[in-house]
Amino acid sequence: MAEVSIIGTGNMGQAIADIVAKGGHGVQFIAHADKDKTITGDIAVLAVPYPALSEIISSRADQLAGKVVVDITNPVNFETFDSLTVPSDSSATAELAAALPDSHVVKAFNTNFAATLTSGLVGGVPTTVFIAGDNTEAKSSVSDVITAGGLTAVDAGSLARARELEAMGFQQIALAASEKISWSAGFALLS
């Protein structure tokens, strides 16, 4: 069983913790502001807003070395909801991977709302969590945690695909913020 440390105790952090626990894995909760707690998990989920990543990198890079680090962020301009705030040829996940070269960084959960993670369903179909990253073993570890928790995990490709996942997340957030879809909408793949 994996031990998963979740930094961030908001709705997304709690929803992910519930999935982890449902799958029989261990969960460590760390409040973003709690600098005294050491990360103990093999997998560290950064369930924080994109601007908080730089602070986590500066204060916890050594603790994240050798670990699978899951970036759930969407670098959205939350003032206007009209763009991503990273360069068009990059992603928040690529920036994180460059800043944490001794970690195995993957993108996951950014195209999900907490409601669909909690219910486990989108339109009666298991919620789909897309995963992108360059380390096959890291993606497999995250996929195992997701599927053990009752959701569908889909390997979306290399770390370069994080850009497209962030665009999907951005579009979903923008639609929900403008009340064109509900905050319980989401993605589910049918085969």
Domains of the chain, by residue range, sit at 3-177
Q: Are 139 and 155 in contact (CB under 8 A)?
A: yes
Q: Are 28 and 7 in contact (CB under 8 A)?
A: no
List CB contacts of 108: < 8 A, sequence separation 6 or more: 70, 71, 72, 129, 130, 131, 132, 142, 146
Third-level CATH fold of 3-177: Rossmann fold (3.40.50)
Segments of the chain scoring below 50 in pLDDT: none
Edge-to-edge strands of the sheet including 152-157? Answer: 26-30, 3-7, 43-46, 68-71, 104-108, 128-133, 152-157
pLDDT score recorded for residue 188: 80
Strand partners, 126: 121
Q: Are 85 and 50 in contact (CB under 8 A)?
A: yes
pLDDT score recorded for residue 82: 84
d(CA 97, CA 23): 27
pLDDT digits (tens, 9 = 90+) for 7-48: 999 999 999 999 999 999 999 999 988 989 999 999 999 999
Q: Which two tokens stand for residue 130?
A: 């897309």
User: Taking Cα atoms as reference points, which of 85, 148, 155, 152 lies closest to residue 112?
Assistant: 152
User: Taking Cα atoms as reference points, which of 151, 165, 144 lies closest to residue 121?
Assistant: 151
pTM over 0.85: yes
Strand partners, 156: none
d(CA 186, CA 172): 8
